[in-house]
Chains A and B, each alone.
Chain A
Amino acid sequence: MKTILVVDDEKDIREAFKEALESEGHYNVVTARDGADALRIVSEGLKPDLILLDLMMGGMDGETFMRKRVDVPTLTKVPVLVVSASGSTEIKTAEVNADGWLKKPLDLDFLLRSVREKVDFETA
């Protein structure tokens, strides 16, 4: 079982991700409503194998989370996929030093493939 942390301020998006990924059977999905929420969950002992991160969020946004992540030892090696509706997702991804990106609205197959690649590669 791989643990995926989904960080998004939209409740429906969080739920949609959880639904789609958990129905695959081998992913455990934990959700956070913003960066601060995610950091709190991690500090409580969660060790995610992958983080799906929204950039534009009320509360702590994705960019701030990425800066803070550097100071959390359990998170430095965890791959991050940026999930964004912005037109300049690629640039943002490079800027925040993330490992890949997914553009909203995303295709389910593409989501599963990207997640599988990241998780399998990192654990191999």
Chain B
Amino acid sequence: MISQESVSILLVGAKTDLPGFLRAKLDSSEFTVVECPSCNKALGTAASADYAVILISSKIRFADSLAFAKKSRELLTAKDTPMMLVARKLERHQAHEAHLSGIADVVDEPYDELAVLLKLEAYVRLYKKTLQASLRGEIVKEKERAERERERSELELKSLRRERHVQQKYRDLVESIEHGILWIADPLSLNILFVSPRAEKLTGHPLRDWVTRRGFFFSKVPKEDRTRVIEAFDRADWGASLNIEHRFLDKNGKMLWFQTAVKLVENAEGSGHELRGFSVDVTAVKNSQHDLQIFKERFSTVVDASPIVVFGIDNAGTISFGRGRDLKSIGLSDDWIGKSAFELYKDDPEFVGMMQRALNGEQFTSEVCFRHSWFQCLFSPQRDFKDRISGATMVALDTTSKKLADGRQRFLFESWEVLSDSLDYEATLKKVASLIVPRFADWCAVQLFESVKRAKIVAAAHADTAKTSIIQELAPFFPLRRRLPGEVQDPSRVSVYRDLKPSDISMKPVEEKYLNFVELLGLKSLVSVPLLARGRSIGFISFVSSSKNYSDEDAAFFEELARRAALAVDNARLYRNAEKAVNTRDEFLSIASHELKTPLTPLRLQLQSIQKAFNEGKLEYLKSRMGSMLERSDRQISRLTGLIDDLLDVSRINLGRMQLDLKDTDLSHLLEEVADQFGDQIEESGCTLRLNVEKGIRGKWDSFRIEQVIVNLLTNAMKYAPKSTIQITATSGPDSAQVRVADSGIGIAKEDQVRIFKLFERAASPKHYGGLGLGLYIVKNIVEAHGGSVGVSSREGFGTAFTVDLPFYYQPEINFPGNKKRRATDLMALP
């Protein structure tokens, strides 16, 4: 098959150059001769196809032949093709050179025609055999090659599709990122080379502005952020992206927030680098962050301004946040964030239990006490977006003051029960003091005035009972006050002192001893509250804290407590006085009845005796006795009249209805008359009367009342100083007259000298001395109605002298003594 096909021979030169026999051979159909006139042409031809033999004609220069041979040996197609040089005449060395150049066969004249032809045929046969063998290998190779080619094209197709798909996906992705802009920039100039179409939508800047304007990106970053952004882009490197948050102005000048990630990558051509950036519009997030920040700040402000404390824990009980002015009052501080709440409150299992209840999903409120403060707490579980419990929050409202106020209210109520429980107010005040301490004060003292200047501490208490007695040591300085030079302190006001030192206390004189006492008792804050009863200060309560300062609420509470205590003391005192008045009145009634019955006894006996004698016809007896009997009866009637007059006078005085009949009166004459009138009685009492009266003392007086005064004083002297010398002296001064009635009797004790002028009062026992006890009261009132005064000087066992000072002229007030306050005891004496 192959043998039948013609064999291609490459001829460098022309057929005509060849000898005849060879030419004839080559003209047969067995061969196809390709003539190439030049070596260069021949080389190109040799490279393009496979030839059985290459013939080089004698017309080709020897040197060119050698060059061709060498070059053709480099060609893939011709490197093994046998070459025959058909030369005219060759030197031996030339033939040798030709062999070295790769020309296998060299023939020259005279040609051995047969040998040349045989050689040629041999070459062709060899070529054909080689061709046959190689043809078989070629087929197998061709098959394999075709197979490989198919696989390769399939792979290429797949990868092409995949690439297209990836490209599409990438394009879709880039396009679908609503808030993101993908861009590529030159790493040196930072000019944008490419930008995703979303850029126009997001910023309003046309895409061409992005890619054509130099430094466009940075021109839209506000100055404040620009340096930072440029630096970041400069730092961008291979590998991980670099993130930066910055602002960006849109076309309308609106400020956007971008979060840009930049990275250095190889460019598509692989010829250099480019900066690839992805800017995400985070304006909404940023704004919501801003809103959140504002909300957080407002929330904090609200929490800080309110008595609310908020804190949160996570599932494990770790404190995640805490906020509130009073964070400390629930035992929390900033240090505790991140630590375990269970650990912090381990001593308060109840509270830990509550937190756990909240972590178990329960929402509830409860009242919780932390140290000294009370809180109304709302416990709530906290849930994450999957509705799982992620922690718990506690909102606590400080209810201490309310609780405190409730407690105080309750205390006031209870104290009222204690205060009104008994009329023994000293015991009551002691009880109150023990209630105040230690609940409201570390120590306290209650003092009551005994007189204007003297106050007595009737109750005191100290939290440390052993120190209570020390309080008494400070008695002279109560109510305790801060030493404030020149300041007049209103005793009816509440005084509140804070941050005191012992040396601040006003003391006269200041002594180390007392300062030590105060130190020992403890002093930080002091509230001194007056005990006011019916507008009068009857004492003080001093409340002292040695550790904290009292608030105005505390002071108000103490004031209220003191008000109640004062009221209780006043009530008890009024009751005591009333009781005493009732006793005095009862005693008076008993004395009055005795006094009234005494003159009635002889009167009745006389009258019945007369009647009896008359009935029995003892006329002689009657005749002899009648005179003295009637005289005696008349005396008793006078006495009764006197008693009744006294009672009426008291009644008049109390009602303010004692009218004076002021007339020109001769006091000296009046005194002499009284002395005459009482001569018998004085004699009977065993007394001696000495009259030492200045003549002609005259004034405008009510002579009847003045006589009453003298008689009262004189009869008192006879009664209480029997058998003594009674001296009545009368002198006139510049404006007034003085009458002195002195005796040498039993005398009047100092403490009784004021009392005796009061209603129903008498110094001596009524057992021994009769009388209603009204005399001196009437005397005092009559003298005072005349604008005068009455005094007493006495020494027990030596005698008594009453002195009456009477102004000569006095215009008494109408309805005397109507402007005088009546006492409770006066009112009880009214008929």
The complex places the Cα of A87 from the Cα of B587 at a distance, in Å, of 11
Interface residues of B in 624-659 (CB under 8 A from A): 625, 628-629, 632, 635-636
Establish whether residues B609 and A19, one from each chain, have CB atoms under 8 Å apart when the complex forms: yes
Does B602 sit at the interface, judged by CB under 8 A?
yes
Stretch at the interface among B73-81, B86-94, B496-504, B590-598: B590-598
The complex places the Cα of A108 from the Cα of B609 at a distance, in Å, of 7
Establish whether residues A111 and B605, one from each chain, have CB atoms under 8 Å apart when the complex forms: yes
Chain A residues within 8 Å of B635, by CB? 12
Residue of B nearest to A63 (CB): B767
The complex places the Cα of A111 from the Cα of B594 at a distance, in Å, of 19
The complex places the Cα of A3 from the Cα of B569 at a distance, in Å, of 61
Chain A residues within 8 Å of B603, by CB? 105
Does B601 sit at the interface, judged by CB under 8 A?
yes
Establish whether residues A19 and B606, one from each chain, have CB atoms under 8 Å apart when the complex forms: yes
Residue of B nearest to A83 (CB): B601
Does B481 sit at the interface, judged by CB under 8 A?
no
User: Contacts A85-B593, A105-B600; is A16 near B606 (CB within 8 Å)?
Assistant: yes
Establish whether residues A58 and B722, one from each chain, have CB atoms under 8 Å apart when the complex forms: yes
Does A43 sit at the interface, judged by CB under 8 A?
no
Does A13 sit at the interface, judged by CB under 8 A?
yes
The complex places the Cα of A59 from the Cα of B768 at a distance, in Å, of 7
CB distance from A20 to the nearest CB of B (A): 5
Establish whether residues A17 and B605, one from each chain, have CB atoms under 8 Å apart when the complex forms: yes
Q: Chain A: interface residue count, which band? A: 20 to 34
Chain B residues within 8 Å of A87, by CB? 590, 593
Chain B residues within 8 Å of A11, by CB? 684
Chain A residues within 8 Å of B601, by CB? 10, 13, 16, 83, 85, 104-106
What's the tally of chain B residues with a CB closer than 8 Å to chain A?
34
Establish whether residues B608 and A85, one from each chain, have CB atoms under 8 Å apart when the complex forms: no
Establish whether residues B621 and A86, one from each chain, have CB atoms under 8 Å apart when the complex forms: no
CB distance from B237 to the nearest CB of A (A): 125
The complex places the Cα of A107 from the Cα of B605 at a distance, in Å, of 7
The complex places the Cα of A106 from the Cα of B600 at a distance, in Å, of 9
Establish whether residues B594 and A85, one from each chain, have CB atoms under 8 Å apart when the complex forms: yes
Establish whether residues B684 and A19, one from each chain, have CB atoms under 8 Å apart when the complex forms: no
Residue of A nearest to B769 (CB): A58
CB distance from A11 to the nearest CB of B (A): 7
Does B770 sit at the interface, judged by CB under 8 A?
yes
Residue of A nearest to B632 (CB): A12
The complex places the Cα of A12 from the Cα of B1 at a distance, in Å, of 204
Establish whether residues A16 and B602, one from each chain, have CB atoms under 8 Å apart when the complex forms: yes
CB-CB contacts of A97-123 with B at 8 A, as 1s and 0s?
A: 000000011111101000000000000
Does B613 sit at the interface, judged by CB under 8 A?
yes
Residue of A nearest to B685 (CB): A58
Does B599 sit at the interface, judged by CB under 8 A?
yes
Interface residues of B in 706-728 (CB under 8 A from A): 719, 722
CB distance from A120 to the nearest CB of B (A): 20
A residues neighboring B (CB under 8 Å): 10-13, 15-17, 19-20, 23, 55-59, 61, 83, 85-87, 104-109, 111
Supply 25 A–B pairs (Cβ within 8 Å), ascending by A: A10-B598, A10-B601, A12-B632, A12-B636, A13-B601, A13-B602, A15-B628, A16-B602, A17-B605, A19-B606, A19-B629, A23-B609, A23-B613, A56-B767, A56-B768, A57-B768, A58-B768, A85-B593, A104-B600, A106-B601, A107-B604, A107-B608, A108-B604, A108-B609, A109-B608
Q: Which 10 A-B pairs have the closest CB atoms?
A: A108-B608, A85-B597, A16-B602, A105-B600, A16-B605, A12-B602, A104-B601, A85-B594, A105-B601, A105-B604
